[in-house]
Amino acid sequence: MKLTVIGQWGGYPKAGEASTGYLLEANGFKLLIDCGSGVLSHLQHHIEATELDAVLLSHYHPDHVADIGVLQHALLIQYFLGKNEGTLPVYAHREDQQGFNSLTYKDLMTAHEYTEDSSLSVGPFTVTFVKSKHPVPCYGMRIEADGKSLFYTADSAFREEFISFGQDADVLLCECNFYGDMDASNAGHMTSLDAGKLAQKTGARNLILTHLPHFGDLEQLITEAKTVYSGHVSLAKKDMVVEI
Ligand SMILES: [Zn+2]
Ligand SMILES: [Zn+2]
Protein backbone atom coordinates (compact mmCIF):
# COMPACT_ATOMS: atom_id res chain seq x y z
CA MET A 1 0.00 0.00 0.00
CA LYS A 2 1.07 3.54 -0.65
CA LEU A 3 -0.20 6.25 1.70
CA THR A 4 -0.02 9.89 0.64
CA VAL A 5 -0.88 12.63 3.10
CA ILE A 6 -3.10 15.21 1.39
CA GLY A 7 -3.99 17.12 4.56
CA GLN A 8 -3.06 16.72 8.21
CA TRP A 9 -4.56 19.67 10.10
CA GLY A 10 -7.25 19.28 12.74
CA GLY A 11 -10.24 21.61 12.66
CA TYR A 12 -9.26 23.74 9.67
CA PRO A 13 -6.36 23.95 7.24
CA LYS A 14 -3.37 26.22 7.52
CA ALA A 15 -2.87 28.68 4.64
CA GLY A 16 -2.11 26.77 1.45
CA GLU A 17 -2.66 23.37 3.07
CA ALA A 18 -5.57 21.04 3.85
CA SER A 19 -7.38 19.53 6.79
CA THR A 20 -7.86 15.78 6.92
CA GLY A 21 -7.39 13.71 3.77
CA TYR A 22 -5.27 10.70 2.81
CA LEU A 23 -4.83 8.94 -0.49
CA LEU A 24 -4.30 5.20 -0.13
CA GLU A 25 -3.31 3.19 -3.19
CA ALA A 26 -2.81 -0.50 -3.89
CA ASN A 27 -2.79 -2.42 -7.15
CA GLY A 28 -3.70 0.77 -8.99
CA PHE A 29 -6.83 1.36 -6.88
CA LYS A 30 -7.12 4.88 -5.47
CA LEU A 31 -9.00 5.35 -2.22
CA LEU A 32 -9.47 8.77 -0.60
CA ILE A 33 -9.86 8.60 3.17
CA ASP A 34 -11.69 11.67 4.50
CA CYS A 35 -12.21 14.77 2.39
CA GLY A 36 -11.70 17.87 4.52
CA SER A 37 -11.21 21.50 3.62
CA GLY A 38 -8.53 22.00 0.96
CA VAL A 39 -8.29 18.30 0.13
CA LEU A 40 -9.66 18.53 -3.41
CA SER A 41 -7.14 21.22 -4.33
CA HIS A 42 -4.16 19.34 -2.90
CA LEU A 43 -5.28 15.96 -4.18
CA GLN A 44 -4.74 17.33 -7.69
CA HIS A 45 -1.01 17.63 -7.02
CA HIS A 46 -1.09 13.82 -7.14
CA ILE A 47 -4.06 12.63 -9.19
CA GLU A 48 -7.13 13.99 -10.95
CA ALA A 49 -10.36 13.86 -8.96
CA THR A 50 -11.84 11.64 -11.67
CA GLU A 51 -9.12 9.04 -11.03
CA LEU A 52 -10.51 8.25 -7.58
CA ASP A 53 -12.03 4.77 -7.30
CA ALA A 54 -13.70 5.24 -3.89
CA VAL A 55 -13.98 7.55 -0.90
CA LEU A 56 -14.16 6.47 2.74
CA LEU A 57 -15.36 8.86 5.45
CA SER A 58 -14.86 8.59 9.22
CA HIS A 59 -17.48 11.17 10.27
CA TYR A 60 -19.24 14.33 9.21
CA HIS A 61 -17.25 17.12 10.87
CA PRO A 62 -16.31 19.77 8.29
CA ASP A 63 -12.56 19.15 8.62
CA HIS A 64 -13.29 15.65 7.26
CA VAL A 65 -16.07 16.25 4.72
CA ALA A 66 -15.96 19.93 3.72
CA ASP A 67 -14.73 19.17 0.19
CA ILE A 68 -17.30 16.51 -0.67
CA GLY A 69 -19.50 19.15 -2.32
CA VAL A 70 -16.71 20.49 -4.49
CA LEU A 71 -15.64 16.95 -5.36
CA GLN A 72 -19.18 16.46 -6.65
CA HIS A 73 -18.82 19.61 -8.75
CA ALA A 74 -15.51 18.38 -10.11
CA LEU A 75 -17.11 15.09 -11.15
CA LEU A 76 -20.00 16.95 -12.80
CA ILE A 77 -17.82 19.40 -14.73
CA GLN A 78 -15.48 16.65 -15.88
CA TYR A 79 -18.54 14.62 -16.91
CA PHE A 80 -19.72 17.53 -19.10
CA LEU A 81 -16.22 17.68 -20.57
CA GLY A 82 -16.45 14.00 -21.41
CA LYS A 83 -13.66 13.07 -19.00
CA ASN A 84 -15.66 11.37 -16.28
CA GLU A 85 -17.89 8.34 -16.42
CA GLY A 86 -19.42 6.02 -13.89
CA THR A 87 -20.29 6.57 -10.26
CA LEU A 88 -17.87 7.23 -7.43
CA PRO A 89 -18.81 5.15 -4.36
CA VAL A 90 -18.53 6.90 -0.99
CA TYR A 91 -18.52 4.70 2.11
CA ALA A 92 -19.76 6.28 5.32
CA HIS A 93 -21.83 5.56 8.41
CA ARG A 94 -25.50 6.45 8.48
CA GLU A 95 -25.80 7.78 12.03
CA ASP A 96 -26.09 11.27 10.56
CA GLN A 97 -28.88 10.69 8.05
CA GLN A 98 -28.70 14.16 6.54
CA GLY A 99 -24.94 13.90 6.11
CA PHE A 100 -25.25 10.45 4.58
CA ASN A 101 -27.96 11.57 2.15
CA SER A 102 -25.81 14.49 0.99
CA LEU A 103 -23.19 12.06 -0.31
CA THR A 104 -25.37 10.82 -3.15
CA TYR A 105 -25.24 13.21 -6.10
CA LYS A 106 -26.91 12.70 -9.47
CA ASP A 107 -25.49 9.54 -11.04
CA LEU A 108 -21.95 10.66 -10.19
CA MET A 109 -21.56 9.82 -6.50
CA THR A 110 -23.37 7.16 -4.49
CA ALA A 111 -23.37 6.69 -0.72
CA HIS A 112 -22.84 3.23 0.74
CA GLU A 113 -23.30 2.48 4.41
CA TYR A 114 -20.78 0.77 6.66
CA THR A 115 -21.41 -0.26 10.25
CA GLU A 116 -19.13 -1.20 13.11
CA ASP A 117 -19.84 -4.89 12.48
CA SER A 118 -19.24 -4.75 8.76
CA SER A 119 -16.18 -5.83 6.89
CA LEU A 120 -15.93 -3.87 3.71
CA SER A 121 -14.21 -4.95 0.51
CA VAL A 122 -13.18 -1.90 -1.49
CA GLY A 123 -11.01 -2.77 -4.46
CA PRO A 124 -7.96 -4.57 -3.00
CA PHE A 125 -8.68 -3.27 0.52
CA THR A 126 -10.45 -4.98 3.39
CA VAL A 127 -11.74 -2.44 5.88
CA THR A 128 -13.04 -3.02 9.40
CA PHE A 129 -14.32 -0.39 11.82
CA VAL A 130 -14.19 0.55 15.47
CA LYS A 131 -16.37 3.17 17.11
CA SER A 132 -14.38 6.14 18.30
CA LYS A 133 -15.02 8.47 21.25
CA HIS A 134 -15.89 11.83 19.79
CA PRO A 135 -18.69 14.42 20.12
CA VAL A 136 -20.39 12.99 17.01
CA PRO A 137 -20.52 9.39 15.71
CA CYS A 138 -17.13 8.56 14.20
CA TYR A 139 -15.26 5.40 13.27
CA GLY A 140 -11.63 4.42 13.30
CA MET A 141 -10.67 1.97 10.60
CA ARG A 142 -8.24 -0.82 9.94
CA ILE A 143 -7.36 -1.21 6.28
CA GLU A 144 -5.52 -4.25 4.98
CA ALA A 145 -4.12 -5.24 1.60
CA ASP A 146 -1.24 -7.41 0.41
CA GLY A 147 -0.67 -8.65 3.97
CA LYS A 148 -0.06 -5.13 5.29
CA SER A 149 -2.23 -3.07 7.59
CA LEU A 150 -3.00 0.54 8.43
CA PHE A 151 -4.90 1.59 11.53
CA TYR A 152 -6.35 5.09 11.19
CA THR A 153 -7.92 6.26 14.45
CA ALA A 154 -9.91 9.10 12.85
CA ASP A 155 -10.97 11.56 15.58
CA SER A 156 -11.16 10.05 19.03
CA ALA A 157 -10.22 10.17 22.67
CA PHE A 158 -8.13 7.19 23.77
CA ARG A 159 -10.16 3.98 23.89
CA GLU A 160 -9.06 0.65 25.36
CA GLU A 161 -10.91 -1.04 22.48
CA PHE A 162 -8.38 0.42 20.08
CA ILE A 163 -5.65 -1.79 21.54
CA SER A 164 -7.05 -5.12 20.39
CA PHE A 165 -8.48 -3.64 17.19
CA GLY A 166 -5.17 -2.13 16.14
CA GLN A 167 -2.86 -4.99 17.11
CA ASP A 168 0.32 -5.23 15.03
CA ALA A 169 -0.64 -2.64 12.45
CA ASP A 170 2.25 -1.77 10.18
CA VAL A 171 1.31 1.90 10.39
CA LEU A 172 -0.69 3.63 13.09
CA LEU A 173 -2.04 6.89 11.69
CA CYS A 174 -3.09 8.43 14.97
CA GLU A 175 -4.84 11.66 15.65
CA CYS A 176 -2.88 13.88 18.01
CA ASN A 177 -4.71 17.13 18.54
CA PHE A 178 -3.24 17.98 21.96
CA TYR A 179 0.07 18.07 23.82
CA GLY A 180 0.98 15.66 26.57
CA ASP A 181 0.12 17.88 29.52
CA MET A 182 -3.36 18.72 28.27
CA ASP A 183 -6.74 17.05 28.77
CA ALA A 184 -7.81 15.90 25.32
CA SER A 185 -10.36 13.33 26.39
CA ASN A 186 -13.17 15.78 27.10
CA ALA A 187 -12.80 17.18 23.60
CA GLY A 188 -12.88 13.70 22.06
CA HIS A 189 -9.24 13.81 20.99
CA MET A 190 -5.86 12.34 21.94
CA THR A 191 -2.63 13.78 23.24
CA SER A 192 0.86 12.85 22.09
CA LEU A 193 1.12 10.59 25.14
CA ASP A 194 -2.16 8.84 24.24
CA ALA A 195 -0.85 8.28 20.71
CA GLY A 196 2.45 6.91 22.02
CA LYS A 197 0.65 4.63 24.46
CA LEU A 198 -1.62 3.33 21.72
CA ALA A 199 1.36 2.66 19.46
CA GLN A 200 3.22 0.86 22.25
CA LYS A 201 0.24 -1.27 23.29
CA THR A 202 -0.75 -2.24 19.76
CA GLY A 203 2.83 -3.01 18.77
CA ALA A 204 2.60 -0.68 15.78
CA ARG A 205 5.72 -0.61 13.65
CA ASN A 206 5.39 3.02 12.66
CA LEU A 207 3.49 5.86 14.36
CA ILE A 208 2.42 8.85 12.30
CA LEU A 209 0.88 11.71 14.26
CA THR A 210 -1.84 13.59 12.42
CA HIS A 211 -4.88 15.84 12.89
CA LEU A 212 -2.33 18.27 14.24
CA PRO A 213 -2.96 21.27 16.51
CA HIS A 214 -2.60 24.90 15.44
CA PHE A 215 -0.50 25.89 18.44
CA GLY A 216 2.77 25.03 20.13
CA ASP A 217 5.90 23.40 18.73
CA LEU A 218 4.78 20.32 16.78
CA GLU A 219 8.18 18.64 17.21
CA GLN A 220 7.34 18.45 20.90
CA LEU A 221 4.55 15.98 20.01
CA ILE A 222 7.18 13.57 18.70
CA THR A 223 9.39 14.00 21.77
CA GLU A 224 6.46 13.33 24.07
CA ALA A 225 5.20 10.28 22.14
CA LYS A 226 8.70 8.81 22.25
CA THR A 227 8.68 8.84 26.05
CA VAL A 228 6.14 5.99 25.96
CA TYR A 229 6.77 4.36 22.55
CA SER A 230 10.04 2.92 21.36
CA GLY A 231 9.27 2.70 17.64
CA HIS A 232 9.50 5.21 14.80
CA VAL A 233 7.44 8.42 15.19
CA SER A 234 6.85 11.15 12.62
CA LEU A 235 4.48 14.03 11.98
CA ALA A 236 2.12 13.79 9.02
CA LYS A 237 3.09 16.40 6.45
CA LYS A 238 1.50 17.52 3.21
CA ASP A 239 2.61 15.31 0.28
CA MET A 240 4.39 12.85 2.56
CA VAL A 241 4.41 9.36 1.02
CA VAL A 242 4.66 6.21 3.12
CA GLU A 243 5.09 2.77 1.61
CA ILE A 244 3.29 0.29 3.84
ZN1 LIG B 1 -11.33 16.43 12.92
ZN1 LIG C 1 -14.23 15.42 14.41
Mean pLDDT of 45-74: 98
Helix H or strand E encompassing 160? none
- Identify each DSSP E strand in 10-77 by its residue range: 21-26, 29-33, 54-56
CA of 57 to the centre of ligand 2 (A): 11
Ligand nearest to the CA of 132: 2
Residue 15 CB burial class (10 angstroms; 0-12, 13-18, ≥19): exposed
Residue 129, phi then psi, degrees to nearest 5: -130, 150
Mean pLDDT of 172-200: 98
Q: Average pLDDT for residues 236-242, to the nearest whole number? A: 98
The pLDDT, as a whole number, for residue 79 is: 97
**Within-domain flag for 111:** yes
Separation of CA 137 and ligand 1 centre (Å): 12
CA 29 / ligand 2 centre spacing (Å)? 27
155 alpha carbon – ligand 1 mean position (Å): 6
The pLDDT of residue 164 is 98
Closest among 61, 48, 54 to 20, alpha carbons compared: 61
Structural domain includes residue 244: no
Expressed in angstroms and rounded, the spacing between residue 61 Cα and the centre of ligand 1 is 6
Task: Name residues whose C-beta falls within 8 Å of residue 129's C-beta, 6 or more positions apart in sequence.
Answer: 114, 115, 116, 118, 120, 139, 140, 141, 142
- CATH (domain of 117): 3.60.15.10
Please report which ligand is nearest the Cα atom of 36.
1
Torsion of CA 34, 35, 39, 41, to 10 degrees: 140
How high is the pLDDT of residue 8? 98
Residue pLDDT, tens place only, 106-126: 999 999 999 999 999 999 999
What's the whole-number mean pLDDT along residues 18-39?
98
Phi/psi-derived region of residue 146, left when phi > 0, alpha when psi is between -120 and 50, beta in every other case = left
- Residue 112 is predicted with a pLDDT of 98
Task: Give the mean model confidence (pLDDT) for residues 30-46.
Answer: 98
Ligand 2 centre to CA of 58 (Å) is 9
CA of 164 to the centre of ligand 2 (A): 23
The dihedral through the CA atoms of 219, 225, 230, 236 has a sign that is negative
Residue 211 CA: which ligand is closest?
A: 1
CA distance 144 to 11: 27
**Within-domain flag for 91:** yes
Residue-wise pLDDT tens digits, 122-157 = 999 999 999 999 999 999 999 999 999 999 999 999
Domain of 66? 2-239
- Give every CB contact of residue 65 below 8 A, 6+ residues apart in sequence: 34, 35, 36, 57, 59, 99
Question: Which ligand does the CA of 61 lie closest to?
Answer: 2
Number of domains in the chain: 1
Name the pairing type of β-strands 88-92 and 54-56: parallel
In a domain, 84, yes or no: yes
CB neighbour list of residue 233: distance below 8 Å, 6 or more residues apart: 196, 199, 207, 208, 209, 222, 225, 226
**126 CB-contact burial (10 Å; exposed 0-12 / middle 13-18 / buried 19+):** middle
Confidence at residue 63, expressed as pLDDT on a 0 to 100 scale:
98
- Which residues are within 8 A (CB) of 223 and not within 5 positions of it... i.e. 6 or more apart? none
User: Residue 187: its pLDDT value, please?
Assistant: 97
Find the 227 Cα to ligand 2 centroid distance in Å.
27
Q: Is residue 76 part of a domain?
A: yes
For residue 18, the CA-to-ligand 2 centroid distance in Å is 15
Give the Cα separation of 118 and 110 in Å (integer). Answer: 18
What spacing in Å lies between the alpha carbon of 145 and ligand 1's midpoint? 25
> CB within 8 A of 205, min separation 6: which ones?
168, 169, 170, 171, 231, 232
Average pLDDT, the chain: 98
pLDDT at 12: 98
Which percentage of the chain shows pLDDT scores above 70? Answer: 100
pTM (two decimals) = 0.98
